[in-house]
Each structure stands twice: as structure tokens, then as C-alpha cells.
Amino acid sequence: MNQTNSYNNWKKIQAQKLLSKESSNNTIVWFGDLCPDATEKPQNCSHTVAISIDRFKREYSNYRGICYYTEKSIEERTAKLNYKTSLIGLFTVLITLLITIKQCGDEVVSNSGITKNELCDCETEDITVGEGKKKVRFKVVYLSQEKRWEFASSSKLTNGQSVEQFLQSYLPRIPNFETSIGLIAVGLASQEGDLKEEENRAGERADAILSGFRVLNFSNSKELYKLNLGQHLPKKELGKDETAYQRRVILIGIMEKEKTMSIKAISKKLELALEDSERLNFDTKIYSKYEFGKY
């Protein structure tokens, strides 16, 4: 199988995964395959980032052509926003966008921006989703370059320590983290290797973080959650040092929420929060899965 066919088959699998999470018949999965010309064949597109329609209005509002998949047909197609030749296609896209905007309109997302903290040698970001009783406030913590997941390891960091050992002394240094209501362990893996194996590794990394949470006294009264993002989607041939950014260690604190809020509601608000993150290397749409649960 040549490289183009392999990539197209991979995109079909990812499109099916994204579409299976959406119940709406209006869902369109948009890949980052921007065509230079609206009439160019889809297979000539080369960019590899997959995003869904709910982000179109923010990132791809000005385009001449883009490759996409639909729920009714998993075959790749090219959208042509040309008034004379594709008025029906334009009308369909606009209706889809209006539906999407209406669905997302109830959620207000505010972001404090990235803050560098020398005490914990990390970057933090406070993101609030919703208002009033439906509000959830997250503190997302990104560990520094020297403390990323060791390549092919489910427990060790690049500083030589196990994540459980490291977190015992590290977590108390994160500003206000001890006042959180809940803690979320994020697991992810870089693009190298078999998809299934790497998704399992991502889950094991999240489990290792959870073990680190549990040994701390201040976590005993907190709700613990696990987010498995799976494997980073392939971009191009990169060495393991170049893919280190895909193995960043990420911790999330739930700083504020209603006690009775459902797991499903928290999961959706978390996904919206991460989509709004200013740390562009962390994007739920460029990892192979989004699996959230309580532990």
C-alpha cells in the first residue's frame, strides 16, 4: 500500500471515530487538508490535522476548498465555496454552522491565558466554561520540557524519575492546586508506534499519574478523574526528540463546579476548555481518542 492510500485509510478511520461520537446528521469532519484551489483533487492535499465542524467557524471561516468526510458517506469530498458553482454546498455549510453555533451558544468560555510559574517550573492556564450553577473552572498545568514522558515508557519521565515519585514532592508546589475539588490525570502518547498499543500506553500513563495523586494526603478528599487522549495523530516523519512536545505531562485541577454535576457534563465542558487552550500543541482534536471517566 503506498503512502497516499495509507494516509487516506487512516483519515477514514479517524473520521469514523469522530463521527461515531456525534449524533447529529449535520456533522461534517474537517481535516486540515486545505486545497490551494477549490477544484483540486482531495488526494493532493497533504496537511494532517483533523478537526470537527464545531471548530470550523473559528479556524476555517476563510477558505477556497477543504477536504471533508460526512456521516452519510465516509468517502472524502472537496468543499467548493464558489457562489456560481456551489451555492447549494455553501447553503448546507451555513445551515450546519448555524446549528453548531446554537448548540455551543449556551457555553461561555473565558481563559486567563498562560502563566509561567518558577516555583513549580510549569505553565498554568485557568479556563472557565459556563456560567452560574453550570460553571466549571479548570486549572491546566503543563510541566516543563525537562519533565516529559520518557519515550516508550508508561511510568518514567525524562528527568529519570517515576511520575509517582516525582508528583509526591511536585504537586504541593503548584499554586492553589491543594484547594481543587477534583484532579484529572491526562494520558497521551506520541505518534510513533501502533495505534492500539500507544492508546493503551496513554491510558497507563494516566493511571501512573493517578497513583501519584493517591499517595498525597491532600488528594484523599478530592474527586479523581482520568482523561485518555490516546496517540497523537501523525504529522510527518519526525525523530523521537522532535515528537517530545507530543508527550508533555499535563495535570488538571477542577477548581470550581456544582457537586451534582454529571460526568458527561464535566467531560463536555473539559473538552470545550481544552479547545480554548492557548497552548496550541495540546489539542483534543489531534489525538486519536477522548475518553473521560471518574476513578
**Which three three-digit cell numbers place residue 105?**
451558544
**Which three three-digit cell numbers place residue 272?**
470545550
118 and 178 belong to one structural domain: yes
CATH number of the domain bearing residue 288 = 3.30.1330.60
Residue 119's pLDDT is: 86
Q: Which domain holds residue 206?
A: 109-294
Residue 126's pLDDT is: 93
Helix residue spans in the chain (DSSP H): 3-21, 56-59, 87-104, 163-170, 195-214, 263-275
Do residues 108 and 136 lie in contact, with contact meaning Cβ atoms separated by under 8 Å? no
For 31, residues 6+ apart whose C-beta sits below 8 A from its C-beta are: 11, 15, 45, 47, 48, 49, 50, 51, 66, 67, 68, 69
Residue 38's pLDDT is: 32
Q: Which of 47, 69, 104 is the last residue of a domain?
A: 104
Residue 17's pLDDT is: 65
Residue 208's pLDDT is: 96
Do residues 153 and 195 lie in contact, with contact meaning Cβ atoms separated by under 8 Å? no
225 and 123 belong to one structural domain: yes
36 and 159 belong to one structural domain: no
13 and 56 belong to one structural domain: yes
Residue 84's pLDDT is: 38
- What CA–CA distance (Å, rounded) separates 220 from 41? 56
Residue 237's pLDDT is: 81
- What CA–CA distance (Å, rounded) separates 185 from 170? 14
| Cα→Cα distances 44→30, 37, 111, Å | 15, 11, 37
Instruction: Please report, in tens digits, the pLDDT of each residue of the chain (295 residues total).
Output: 555 555 566 666 666 666 665 544 445 565 554 433 333 333 333 333 344 445 544 454 444 344 555 554 555 444 433 333 345 555 554 554 444 333 334 567 888 888 888 888 899 999 999 988 899 999 999 998 889 999 999 999 999 999 999 998 899 899 889 899 999 999 999 999 999 999 999 999 999 999 999 887 767 789 999 999 999 988 778 888 989 989 999 999 999 999 999 999 999 999 889 888 876 556 777 899 999 999 8
Residue 41's pLDDT is: 35
Let me know the angle formed at the C-alpha of 290 by 287 and 292, rounded to the nearest 5 degrees: 145
Residue 71's pLDDT is: 56
- Number of structural domains, the chain? 2
